[in-house]
Structure 1
Amino acid sequence: MATSATTPATQPSSGGARVKLQQFGRLLSGMVMPNIGAFIAWGLITALFIPTGWIPNATLEALVGPMITYLLPLLIGYTGGTMIHGKRGGVIGATVTMGVIVGTTVPMFLGAMVVGPLSAWVLKQFDKAVEGKIKAGFEMLVNNFSLGIIGGLLTLGALKGVGPVIQGITNVLSDGVQVLVDHNLLPLINILIEPGKILFLNNAINQGILTPIASGQVVEAGKSILFMLESNPGPGLGILLAYWLVGKGSAKSSAPGAIIIHFLGGIHEIYFPYILMNPRLILAVIGGGVSGTFTFQMLGAGLVASPSPGSIFAYFAMTPKGGYFPMLSGIIVATAVSFVLASLLLKTVKKTDEEDMDLETAAAKMKDMKSAGTAASPAVATAAANNVAANVRNKADVRKIVFACDAGMGSSAMGASVLRKKLQSAGVNLTVVNSAVSEIPADADIVFTQKTLTDRAIASNPNAEHISIDNFLKSPKYDELVERLK
């Protein structure tokens, strides 16, 4: 597939703010996404055992408070630290996170997102300063005491300084949300959320802002509507249904499969290219998001934890007792409004507009937007090319194929599924998995990544064969590899 000749590195400066926001979103999602399973565990325990839950149990309910107060922030702090400085960064990140936990009275997700990476960065600077200057035999002593002393001092600072500031910010954000709720203005947030998703700011919005506030509301009320603002699958479903029923060409034929991936699999990125084909459809998803949130609010809907990924199955799992009708109503209304608006816009689109960008071009544009700010330098690109040339594997040497993306849960999962089916159809029995680009398994023989992530993939596993592609859903390199491995 042809890609744009303009790389993110050479885009006009007007896109700089968007790139910075995307990078910020990647940092936040990188801290939260690996721990989503723990959030879901906490959400299920909350839904089951609190006094208004499915099977109230005072003994088991005792897990709810400590998990949200200690476990979840510590996991975020540790993960944020490892992103900056490996395991040493993770240890100091969790240590300093304890300071903001003890220094406040609200769940410290935001605090953990701040002090985890920051404390790891401080330790990393110290380690760089003393690198090569420690006498032989004293490495362990210096490493342990430096982490202990720096971590202890930063923990005290977090307890007395950072924690109260973060609590103040959290209180302001919570009060602001409450004002919107009290004045029935909460649906207006979707005017910002829906375009933000198309610009790949969804992680910054959902994981960085909404989830911390919503988790605090769950402790008080047993549920929160904030979990549903960004994750509602209804607006995207309406777009895909409109393309399926009134669209044309490859978009129409591919829409049914995209519906399954989006609505059942919860991977919302699948519908972004369909909007990029016709940017006017952003009005349809805004309409769907606003109407869905309005319905949620009017009927008192809410979830007990973040439904990640945003699958209808996750929605059912995270819905508290008695909340299924409000939840389904909001999704259905959002789908219907988005579908009607999208259908009208598609029927009135000019032929020249449809020919301006096909689905594959839109998908390539989406990949470029998502990877903005991560393009490799010429030197790194050369190194990547040398790696690919040197590490091409023979059929007998391939046991595991890995698809890698930023979080290791969205586009890479789709790519792994597509190639797995192609290999099975060709009678090739190999392991095909997906992972985050920073956590590629050491035993990976072949690694697929989007082009602008290949340099990071090589750094994560330099011994594998690395294959760069433009579109995880459709690439000629899949068929080329299948032929090689048959």
Structure 2
Amino acid sequence: MTDTQVAAKAPGGIRVGVQKFGTFLSGMIMPNIPALIAWGIFTAFFIAVGWTPNPALESIVGPMIHYLLPILIAYQGGRMVYETRGAVVGAVATFGAIAGSDWLIALLNEDLVAAGEKEIGQIHMFIGAMIMGPLAAWVMKKLDALWEGKIKAGFEMLVNMFSAGIFGFIAAVFAFYVLAPIVNWIMDLLGGAVGWLVDNGLLPLTSILIEPAKVFFLNNAINHGVLTPLGTAESAEAGKSILFLLEANPGPGLGILLAFTLFGVGAARASAPGAAIIQFFGGIHEVYFPYVLMKPALLLAVIAGGATGVGTNAIFQSGLVAPAAPGSIIAVLAQTARDSYVGVILSVVLSALVSFLIAAVILRASRKRDLAAEAAGSDGFATAVARTQANKGKSSATLSGLAGAGAAGGTATLTAPAHTIERVVFACDAGMGSSAMGASVLRNKFKAAGIEGVNVTNKAIAALDGSADLVVTQQQLTDRARQREQSAVHVSVDNFMNSPKYDEIVQMLLVQQSADETKAEHGEPTDEGAGFVATPTPATDAPATRAEARAAAAAVDSGAAASEGVLTQGSVRIHAGSVSRDEAIREAADILGSAGAVTGKYYDAMLTREQTVSTFMGNELAIPHGTNDAKDAVLASALTVVRYDGGVDWDGDKVTFVVGIAGRGDEHLGLLQNVALLFSDEEQVEQLKRAETPEELYTLLKTVNEG
């Protein structure tokens, strides 16, 4: 890799790293927001300055924030790393950090009292929980791997229980003596920095960092790693905190969307009113991010709006009693402290007004240019939505709906290129799962539409060689694919099974085919090949002629026949209830492992793949599989099919069928392509859902395999 390539990759690598770190912190905090809200209600009503002071019920406030909330966070963090076993040792270890902090504070207070100075309060171990919970779980996981398969039969439970208990004890002692002093120092440092900003009237300047970070999904590390712990500690002492409003204020986003409603053009203007309702009342701030990305100058509007809101709250000394999540005006008002309603409401109104006025000036100044772009059929809104989803790192139902609304009000369709489309490549990270299924679905659509001579293949992004005419990727991967196929048409989809973009591709090729046929009738030359018959191109592995395309299809058929043993009856299951996404991936990995198809490392590779790009395919189907770097963990090709009648929440999408994949060579692709065709038909999906036994479900799947 050259120095130039490294330099080009570095910013993206840093951004992705911050995103992953922030997402991990968010994964620990967000499931526990209900507990924070409950604590906030106790605080708002029962402390001395609350709505209905009650000394008896006020006694719940301290233990909840000092013990319950950090333990819940640690439990969730440990569970994310190593399921329930990791959750338990993470919680035990974090209790050591809590006790260690209290012990240090008690010693310090003895010295302060002796010196005639004021005692300091407790330090709540939110940061300690976010460190110790996952860390203890990770170490436990590594320790278990050391003696996996080496325990004598009949002693497994004894070893598992005592190993976790003994390690929990050791981790708690470590947290008591080592982690607690570090976290106390960190909290003192962060608290001092925020105090300095407040004392010097500089807190509004935090919007310079927070508002752009939100747009690029880099805010979670700041919000959950700093603002939530500090805000909660401040609220426990003062009954409210301004820190909860630094990021949650819905005013700046509302101002941007109102400006687009009045002064925007095309799809952005058409979708802005609906987005404003979702953002302001639903609290889904990400819906305004594409509008800012369309015009980066609008960052000035959200920064100024955010700073206005923070300044207003600082002047009125207003704040919330607990985090407002999601950042809806309803959640903000529900968490507003008793004496802060005027300041909080004014902060929202004024921040929206300032953001609106600045955005309006920017939009009016570029309106003529925007109208010209719209007339040319490109207003950039669909691209901005795709960039937003790429920044987020995974698909979003809200953003996909926003893109759909924009398309309904504008012109977000594919434009035919100047050259004939002969080679279509579906590309994904590993090139063995989702892309293979997408290629199969589109190939079937081409056949139904009568389009011939267009070769459809699937590849890993790393294998793209510059020979493709059109490349289809999931939205998060389009930029990577564009770097390797710079001359190709690129189409971003939110899932590979039933994207509406497929119909646009079919329509585009039908238009091109019709144009070529018309040229042929008049004796005119066609674009690079008549009737979509590809001309041979050296140095490419894609079939270049109709004969070669037919040979490729025959190879797919033979692959299907060769893969009959890839899916066995023992690898098909039905569960009445529901599980989490990671639990479903774990079961798929365990089945593959039991079949002798993968090693124990494959599960981690499947999780890594999911963190990079979701394997949700559409039509209630997900196909978890490892990354391209995990090929050494695959011993043989195999598929698993598990139906969860209670559904699986797959990053916001409902999944009923989880098809686990381990692919060695191309043995599994024939069956996988047939599965894709099966799941692209909603009636057949319903038939699979009606199967009453695993045997019946296997029979339906086996029939497809044989077909």
Fold conserved between structures, TM > 0.5: yes
Q: SS at the partner of 2:642? A: coil
Structure 2 residue corresponding to 1:368, chosen from 377, 387, 390: 390
Q: SS at the partner of 1:463? A: strand
Deviation at 1:14, TM superposition (A): 2.5
439 and 272 in structure 1: CA distance in 2 versus 1, 3 angstrom threshold: farther
Structure 1 residue corresponding to 2:80, chosen from 79, 83, 95: 83
In 2: Cα distance, 1:122 partner to 1:441 partner: 21
Counting helix residues as a fraction of each chain, which structure ranks higher?
1
Deviations 1:314-369, CA, capped at 9 Å, x for gaps: 01110111211110000111000000000000111265567375221111111111
Correspondence 1:207 to 2:224 = yes
Correspondence 1:112 to 2:125 = no
Correspondence 1:383 to 2:433 = yes
In 2: Cα distance, 1:389 partner to 1:377 partner: 9
In 2: Cα distance, 1:115 partner to 1:296 partner: 34
Deviations 1:128-163, CA, capped at 9 Å, x for gaps: 111111111111111111111111011001011101
Point out the more displaced range, 222-231 or 379-388. 379-388
100 and 381 in structure 1: CA distance in 2 versus 1, 3 angstrom threshold: farther
Deviation at 1:229, TM superposition (A): 0.1
Deviations 1:404-426, CA, capped at 9 Å, x for gaps: xxxxxxxxxxx9xxx9xxxxxxx
1:178 corresponds in structure 2 to 195
Task: Percent identity, please.
Answer: 47
1:6 corresponds in structure 2 to none
Structure 1 residue corresponding to 2:15, chosen from 9, 14, 18: 18
1:429-448 correspondence runs (5 A)? 437-438=581-582
2:235 corresponds in structure 1 to 218
1:333 corresponds in structure 2 to 350
Deviation at 1:451, TM superposition (A): 9.1
In 2: Cα distance, 1:21 partner to 1:65 partner: 33
Structure 1 residue corresponding to 2:331, chosen from 299, 314, 338: 314
Deviation at 1:164, TM superposition (A): 1.4
1:407 corresponds in structure 2 to none
168 and 450 in structure 1: CA distance in 2 versus 1, 3 angstrom threshold: closer
In 2: Cα distance, 1:216 partner to 1:179 partner: 17
Deviation at 1:208, TM superposition (A): 1.2
- C-alpha contact (below 8 Å) 2:267/2:379 kept by paired residues: no
Structure 2 residue corresponding to 1:133, chosen from 145, 150, 171: 150
289 and 116 in structure 1: CA distance in 2 versus 1, 3 angstrom threshold: same
Q: SS at the partner of 1:335? A: helix
Q: SS at the partner of 2:69? A: helix
In 1: Cα distance, 2:433 partner to 2:149 partner: 27
Deviations 1:46-99, CA, capped at 9 Å, x for gaps: 101111111111111111000000110001101100111111000001110101
1:222-371 correspondence runs (5 A)? 222-349=239-366, 351-352=368-369, 355=373, 358-371=380-393
1:453 corresponds in structure 2 to 614
**Bigger RCO of structures 1 and 2 (CA < 8 A, at least 6 apart):** 1
- C-alpha contact (below 8 Å) 1:437/1:453 kept by paired residues: no
Deviations 1:174-201, CA, capped at 9 Å, x for gaps: 0110110011000000100001111101
In 2: Cα distance, 1:158 partner to 1:103 partner: 7
- C-alpha contact (below 8 Å) 1:44/1:317 kept by paired residues: no
- C-alpha contact (below 8 Å) 1:233/1:331 kept by paired residues: yes
239 and 169 in structure 1: CA distance in 2 versus 1, 3 angstrom threshold: same
Q: Which amino acid aligns with 2:34?
A: G
Deviations 1:354-401, CA, capped at 9 Å, x for gaps: 7375221111111111118xxx9967441335678999xxxxxxxxxx
242 and 436 in structure 1: CA distance in 2 versus 1, 3 angstrom threshold: farther
Q: SS at the partner of 2:271? A: helix
389 and 17 in structure 1: CA distance in 2 versus 1, 3 angstrom threshold: closer
1:165 corresponds in structure 2 to 182
2:642 corresponds in structure 1 to 463
Q: SS at the partner of 1:120? A: helix
1:59 corresponds in structure 2 to 56
Q: RMSD value over aligned CA atoms?
A: 3.5
Deviation at 1:485, TM superposition (A): 8.4
Q: Which amino acid aligns with 2:234?
A: Q
Point out the more displaced range, 97-106 or 117-126. 97-106
Q: Which amino acid aligns with 2:132?
A: V
- C-alpha contact (below 8 Å) 2:278/2:284 kept by paired residues: yes
Q: Please, which runs of 5 or more residues in structure 2 have no aligned partner?
A: 1-5, 102-121, 395-425, 442-494, 500-577, 587-609, 626-639, 654-679, 687-707
Deviation at 1:463, TM superposition (A): 3.0
Correspondence 1:34 to 2:213 = no
Deviations 1:271-298, CA, capped at 9 Å, x for gaps: 0011111111011000000111000100
Give the structure-1-normalised TM-score: 0.79
- C-alpha contact (below 8 Å) 1:381/1:455 kept by paired residues: no
381 and 339 in structure 1: CA distance in 2 versus 1, 3 angstrom threshold: same
Deviation at 1:12, TM superposition (A): 2.5
Correspondence 1:190 to 2:207 = yes
Structure 2 residue corresponding to 1:49, chosen from 46, 50, 61: 46
- C-alpha contact (below 8 Å) 1:387/1:462 kept by paired residues: no
378 and 338 in structure 1: CA distance in 2 versus 1, 3 angstrom threshold: closer
Structure with bigger gyration radius: 2
Q: Which amino acid aligns with 2:169?
A: G
Give the number of aligned pairs. 421
450 and 163 in structure 1: CA distance in 2 versus 1, 3 angstrom threshold: closer
Q: SS at the partner of 2:89? A: helix
- C-alpha contact (below 8 Å) 2:316/2:340 kept by paired residues: no
In 2: Cα distance, 1:217 partner to 1:282 partner: 30
In 1: Cα distance, 2:131 partner to 2:43 partner: 26
10 and 382 in structure 1: CA distance in 2 versus 1, 3 angstrom threshold: farther
Q: SS at the partner of 1:227? A: helix
Q: Please, which runs of 5 or more residues in structure 1 have no aligned partner?
A: 1-8, 392-414, 420-433, 443-448, 473-479
In 2: Cα distance, 1:380 partner to 1:361 partner: 25
Deviation at 1:452, TM superposition (A): 1.7
Give the structure-2-normalised TM-score: 0.55
- C-alpha contact (below 8 Å) 1:215/1:224 kept by paired residues: yes
In 1: Cα distance, 2:41 partner to 2:585 partner: 30
Q: SS at the partner of 2:123? A: coil
- C-alpha contact (below 8 Å) 2:427/2:435 kept by paired residues: no
125 and 299 in structure 1: CA distance in 2 versus 1, 3 angstrom threshold: same
Q: Which amino acid aligns with 2:381?
A: L
2:114 corresponds in structure 1 to none
Q: SS at the partner of 1:229? A: helix
- C-alpha contact (below 8 Å) 1:304/1:319 kept by paired residues: yes
- C-alpha contact (below 8 Å) 2:433/2:623 kept by paired residues: no
